[in-house]
Structures are given as C-alpha cells and as structure tokens.
C-alpha cells in the first residue's frame, strides 16, 4: 500500500534532487549538457557574488518576517472564529478567499494596488492628509511602494502574508476546537481571564499544531518565487531578490544550469535546519 507513495516521492522529488546535485557538481549549461566534473567550484563562485549574498539575506527576511506576522494574525483570527457571532460564515469565506485565489491573479491585483502612479492607497493617504506637501509621509503624491527598497520588501511580505494566512488560520482553528471543553470550563471556574487562558492554557496545548503551521509556512515561503517575481521581479535593483528567483535567473534565463542548481541547493540545508529546530522546540514544549 505504501508503494505508490514511495514511487511518487522517488520520481517527483528524489530524481530531480539527485539531478540537481549532479548539475551543481558539473559545468552543465543550456548550450553544453555534458556533465564534466568541477567539484565545488560552482558553490564557491556563487557564494562570492553580491547578488547571492543579498538574495540569501532577503530570503531570511522574507521568510521569518512573513511567518512571524502570519502566526500572530492566524492565532488572533482563529480565536475570533472559534466564537459564535452573526455573519461568521461570511468572515470565514473572506479569510479563505486568498488561499483559493490563484497566486498569479492575486499578485497581479496587488501589483495594481501598489502601482507607482495609480495606487488607490496613495489616493487614500493624500485624501486623509498623510501624503503630500508638508505631511508626515513626504511631499510627493505617490509612495512608490514597489520602487523603494524598504517599501518593496514590506510589500512582498504583506502580499505573502495575505496569501498564506488562511492556511495557518485553518490549522490553528482546528487545534483550538480540539481542546477539551472541560479544561476551558475549569479555567473559567478558577477565575482565569481571557489573556491568562490564552497564554497559559490554549497556546501551550496547541503549540505542536502551531509548529506544524510554522513548518508548512517556512517550507512554502523559502521555496516561493511567484509573489516576488510578479510584484517586483527582484527589484529595485536586486533589493527584493530571493534565492529561488535568483536560481531561476542564473539557471534558466542565464543558461548556467550548474550555478542555478548550486543556488537552489542552498535551500536544502536551510530547510533541513528549520525542520529539525521546529520539531525539537515543539517536542520540548509539548503539554500532555
């Protein structure tokens, strides 16, 4: 019964992974597919480039920053959705909508919202007096969200949070509903308030599930290039460049399959370390 799953993993995961290792240790390119052994030369060349170094830093900022925001917001939303209120079905629908929307369609919509000339956010900021001459955000009438280094990174993180938040909400909401009702009733009888119940009872009990949400989010984020590619294309300059996009640039567009594979393989030890760390922390704080 396990054979189909094992075969699926070997064909769609194992073989490409081994092929990437072979490519990274050779000089293969689009014009020359012969696998001539070069050892670790590709890794040494890649690490020395400023584009790779910036992409590595950006990948951590993008992944860690977005996941921190996602977990906080997902916990808040899951706590709200666990209560009964009128219009709950509509709120659930609106929360799940970003996850159901194709990433390309959603990112294109956000690209228009953050446009340097036609952004409705700029119009709102000007209307309420926060943007324009003698205002808090500057004298211009446009924020240029995708053209300024800090704002561009904040924009791609915001869109990624919007995209992955529903998944984390569903996972944490399922964890909250699994807490035995008698434990919550007993805490109420003992006089525990909302915050004490949340931080001393609910979060410790569901932390292993929260760690799974973090794990899924980290894996999806470290390997994601769609949001950055559509919104900023790694710009301005390469200030929002991330490792998956840079691997695509070098390996596919640049034709150097060997160096592209070497860049992509840097994700493997990063993800492996994150998986081990999250699972260890989850095991250590698990409440029985």
- Find how far residue 70's CA is from the centre of its chain: 9
44: in domain: no
Query: Does 288 score more than 60 pLDDT?
Result: no
- Does 265 reside within a domain? yes
32 lies in some domain:
no
Does 11 reside within a domain? no
Return the DSSP state at 179: S
Mean pLDDT of 30-39: 87
The residue among 199, 191, 165 whose CA lies nearest residue 285 is: 199
Cβ–Cβ under 8 Å, residues 152 and 237: no
Indicate the pLDDT class of residue 57, thresholds 50, 70 and 90: very high
**pLDDT tens digits for 124-147?**
999 999 998 888 888 888 899 999
- Model pLDDT, residue 9: 85
> Cβ(246)–Cβ(234) under 8 Å?
yes
Indicate the angle between helix axes 41-48 and 50-81, nearest 10 degrees.
80
CATH number at residue 96: 1.10.3720.10
Q: Is 17 inside a domain boundary?
A: no
The two tokens of residue 156 are: 């791609």
181 domain-assigned: yes
Question: Would 248 be classed as within a structural domain?
Answer: yes
The verdict on residue 10 lying in a domain is: no
Domain total of the chain = 1
The predicted structure's pLDDT at residue 285:
66
The predicted pLDDT at position 64 comes to 93
Range of the domain at 269: 50-285
Task: Tell me what percent of the residues of the chain surpass a pLDDT of 70.
Answer: 99
Q: What is the pLDDT of residues 185-205, one digit of tens each?
A: 888 888 888 888 888 889 888
pLDDT at 284 over 80: no
């Amino acid at each position: 019964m396990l054979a189909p799953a094992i075969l699926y993993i070997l064909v769609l995961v194992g073989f490409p992974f081994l092929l990437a290792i072979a490519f990274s240790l050779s000089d293969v390119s689009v014009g020359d597919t012969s696998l001539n052994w070069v050892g670790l030369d590709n890794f040494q060349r890649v690490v020395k480039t400023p584009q790779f170094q910036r992409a590595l830093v950006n990948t951590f900022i993008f992944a860690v920053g977005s996941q921190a925001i996602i977990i906080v917001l997902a916990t808040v939303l899951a706590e709200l959705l666990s209560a009964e209120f009128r219009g709950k079905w509509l709120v659930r629908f609106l929360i799940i909508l970003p996850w159901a929307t194709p990433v390309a369609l959603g990112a294109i919509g956000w690209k228009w919202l953050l446009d340097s000339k036609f952004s409705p956010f700029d119009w709102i900021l000007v209307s309420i007096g926060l943007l324009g001459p003698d205002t808090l955000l500057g004298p211009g009438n446009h924020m240029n969200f995708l053209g300024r280094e800090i704002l561009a990174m904040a924009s791609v993180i915001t869109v990624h949070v919007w995209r992955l938040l529903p998944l984390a909400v569903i996972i944490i909401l399922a964890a909250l509903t699994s807490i035995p009702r008698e434990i919550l009733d007993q805490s109420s009888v003992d006089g525990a308030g909302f915050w004490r119940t949340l931080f001393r009872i609910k979060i410790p009990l569901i932390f292993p599930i929260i760690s799974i949400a973090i794990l899924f989010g980290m894996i999806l984020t470290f390997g994601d290039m769609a949001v950055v590619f559509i919104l900023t294309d790694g710009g301005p300059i390469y200030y929002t460049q991330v490792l998956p996009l840079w691997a695509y640039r070098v390996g596919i567009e640049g034709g150097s399959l060997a160096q592209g594979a070497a860049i992509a393989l840097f994700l493997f030890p990063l993800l492996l370390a994150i998986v081990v760390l999250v699972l260890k922390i989850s095991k250590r704080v698990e409440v029985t």
